Chains A and B, each alone.
Chain A
Amino acid sequence: MKAAQVIMDTGAHAAALAVKSARVDVIPGYPITPQTSIMEAVAAMVENGELDARFIPVEGEHSAMAAAVAAAAAGARVFTATSANGLLYMHEVLHMASGGRLPVVMCNVNRGVFAPWTLWADHQDSFAQRDTGWIQYHCSSNQEVFNTILQAFRVAEQINIPVMVNFDGFAISHCLMPLTLPPQEDIDRFLPPHSPEWRLDPEYPSSFSNVTNASEYAPFRQMLSDDILASIPLVKQAAQEYKDITGMWDGDTIDTYRLEDAEVVAFAVNSMAAELRLSIDILREQGIKAGLLRPRLYLPFPAEDIIGALPQNAQVMVLDRNYNFGHPGGILASELKNALFGRRSDITVKNRVMGIGGIDLTRRFMAAEIRAMMDD
């Protein structure tokens, strides 16, 4: 058996390497900061023959997603990537991918949305796509980006629902971290070739998404809703089998740190959640029994796993890098309260918004915030 290779690489390039390892067929792409590095890397890999795929340099993100879903309907394994306004521009076509049950995988490199312009990370862009019917992972390290893209293809193709793999612009996309690349035969064992049970095929002509009466439309939507929830065991299975094959583990639907005996639980996603591990250590040194619960899945929201993991009587400090306009605080806190309501009356949920537009979230700052929130 070949050994894994360890390199230093950026999150964006790790994503491109995962695309190559997944033996993707078609990659429509359009540049947007901070995602651009993924497309540059993929275009170079296709050009030099490292990646046997078609790169389609489309003229915008709406077209990128359109080309992606159409290629998926033709039977190809498809990847694209975007950020912020690019993701918002795709919005209509995201619905087509999920409603049409086309297993596209996309990276969204999180960035705050216009207006005013910002280039840096927050999570308004991906959370704004909550109701598009995509499964959404949020990743906290370069390695997790690599691992999750492979898991995403597996889950997407098992249940025919598109998957978005989110990670922070710059903090992940442009920062070098050690990256373990499992041998290709291990990845091939984990992710079998794509063989969809339906595609556009002149030998067996059928039509995709004609106008549909309510009596048929409603069941399609119900099945989509049911199947998004039914993806949770597949997400867990993918994480477990990936671990069995490669030895790597980033959590399944959730990831935890020093949670078992925690009285104060930090709750956040993406790179800030990686930094939060250090904040937890600081708080522990200060005598506070702190722990971390990081949802790896944002959608479907892993309510059961969160309910099961939270220690009795915990105070949950939700650190939101986004706004839930029309409500005080952020979106994650809303989702968490929704999950806990009527299930865990012992839990207290507190919430602060921070890190908007890429404001740096250091371990000391977040530890101090959590301490302050204890008095909120």
Chain B
Amino acid sequence: MTTSIKQLPDIEQVLSGNGACGGCPATMALRIVGKALGTNAIMLLTPSCAVASMGMTPRLGYNWPCINICFATAGSSASGITHALEIMREKGRLQGELPTVFSWVGDGGTYDIGFQALSAAAERNDNIIHFCYNNEAYSNTGVQRSGATPRGAFTTTTPAGKRQTKKNMALLMLEHNIPYVATATVAYPGDLYDKVLKARNIPGMKYIEILAPCYLGWQFDMPETVRMSRMAVRSGAWLLWEGENGKISFNHPSSLIISGKKEAAPVDEYLIKQGRFNRLLKGPDAESRIAAIQGDINREIAFMRERAKITV
């Protein structure tokens, strides 16, 4: 059973009055992550909205020890910390339960510049949790395309809409044969909480990606953040799943779409709410462009359904 809202712990690791935009999905998600990780954790951040909003020296809006690191280095920096903690405990310089070492990184720092170091940390199976809060663009620098930007989306570096599809980053991480991979999004806090709690108790490399609809980058109304997250899941544009030692299972409500018990909502309802697809939805070839995006989603659903059948 998914943890209910009322069962979530009181603990707040994201402190009120930080510098994030109102309605920020990343801080929304981080609050839930904090409830699952508790205070005994060390946080790494690469340049991102989180860094821009965590407070300026000497003020900090999170209640963890945090380290700001170079953009490309989430994987290797987290490895450095986890190995340091482990050897210091082995040598008797640290006592008690070791802190959870986790990276809080955007899609740029995960899909793009941070991919190499992250892949290597996964291959080494170092004991860390890598969170990718995915707002599908470089939002902090003013919304430029990333490897996570979906086809058709306007960004300041894809003025005609992105022509390529996004990567399936979570699946790429799964194929590193790491013990745990999960996807989540802000509309389903109990699901996110349970996944973080599970990851925290698994040794080795864990990867959790959280779809974080950013109203500035996606161009929807600020209060609609959670709705947009829900629509992403209902349309199948975002699938909730977890992979334990390579075996995939789908979570509600994505499980219903995968099993065919429920039809995914047509993608145009999801797209039409987002200004970033405006250019796509106007003009003579709008239908074929929407069909291409629907095709991307259908392909991912079909692919993941088949991939989940491999259970050896």
Contact = CB atoms under 8 A, between A and B. Distances in A.
Contact of A209 (B41, B67, B75): B67
A202 B81 contact: no
Given A73-B67, A75-B93, A66 B117 contact: yes
A74 B86 CA distance: 10
Contact of B69 (A70, A76, A78): A70
Interface in B65-119: 65-70, 72-73, 75-81, 83-88, 90-91, 93, 99, 116-117, 119
Given A202-B65, A207-B66, A212-B57, A58 B76 contact: yes
A202 B64 contact: yes
Contacts of B23: none
Contact of B77 (A67, A76, A204): A67
Given A52-B91, A208-B67, A210-B55, A202 B41 contact: yes
Contact of A74 (B54, B62, B84): B84
B304 interface: no
A205 to B, nearest CB: 5
B236 to A, nearest CB: 34
Contacts of A72: 80, 84
A92 B113 CA distance: 14
Contact of A210 (B54, B83, B86): B54
Contacts of A78: 80, 84
Contacts of A26: 80, 83-84, 87
B60 A210 contact: yes
A66 B87 contact: no
A66 B80 contact: yes
Contacts of A131: none
B156 interface: no
Given A54-B87, A66-B117, A28 B76 contact: yes
Contacts of B70: 62, 66, 92-93, 96
A304 B206 CA distance: 54
A59 B54 contact: no
Interface in A51-79: 52-54, 56-60, 62-64, 66-76, 78
Given A58-B79, A63-B75, A67-B79, A207 B60 contact: yes
A206 interface: yes
B60 A56 contact: no
Interface in A31-68: 52-54, 56-60, 62-64, 66-68
Nearest to B93: A75
Contacts of A88: none
Contacts of A115: none
Contacts of B91: 25, 52
Contact of A75 (B41, B84, B117): B84
A93 B73 contact: yes
Given A59-B117, A63-B117, A92-B70, A76 B57 contact: no
Nearest to B41: A202
A247 to B, nearest CB: 30
Interface in B21-69: 39-42, 44, 51-52, 54-60, 62-69
A346 interface: no
Interface residues of B, number: 49
Interface string B106-136: 0000000000110110011010000000000
A71 B77 CA distance: 8
B35 to A, nearest CB: 16
Contacts of B40: 202
Contacts of A216: 57-58
Contacts of A128: none
A270 to B, nearest CB: 29
B80 A56 contact: yes
Given A56-B124, A205-B65, A70 B77 contact: yes
B79 to A, nearest CB: 5
Contacts of A66: 69-70, 72-73, 76-77, 80, 117
Contacts of A209: 57, 67-68
A206 B65 contact: yes
A207 B67 contact: yes
A201 interface: yes
Nearest to A58: B76
A213 interface: yes
A207 B65 contact: yes
Contacts of B90: 52
A72 B57 CA distance: 20
A207 B52 contact: no
Given A67-B79, A76-B87, A213 B60 contact: no
Contacts of A96: 69-70
B65 A210 contact: no
Nearest to A200: B65
B67 A63 contact: no
Given A26-B80, A70-B44, A73-B81, A210 B67 contact: no
Contacts of A58: 76, 79, 117, 120
Interface of B: 39-42, 44, 51-52, 54-60, 62-70, 72-73, 75-81, 83-88, 90-91, 93, 99, 116-117, 119-120, 123-124, 126
Given A70-B67, A210-B56, 13 more contacts: A26-B87, A28-B79, A52-B90, A58-B120, A59-B123, A60-B116, A63-B116, A67-B76, A67-B77, A67-B80, A70-B79, A76-B83, A200-B67
Pick the 10 closest A-B CB pairs, nearest first.
A67-B80, A63-B76, A66-B73, A70-B80, A59-B120, A76-B84, A74-B84, A71-B80, A207-B66, A71-B84
20 contacts: A26-B80, A54-B84, A56-B76, A58-B120, A60-B120, A62-B73, A63-B76, A63-B116, A63-B117, A63-B120, A67-B73, A67-B79, A70-B44, A73-B81, A74-B42, A75-B93, A205-B39, A206-B66, A207-B65, A207-B68
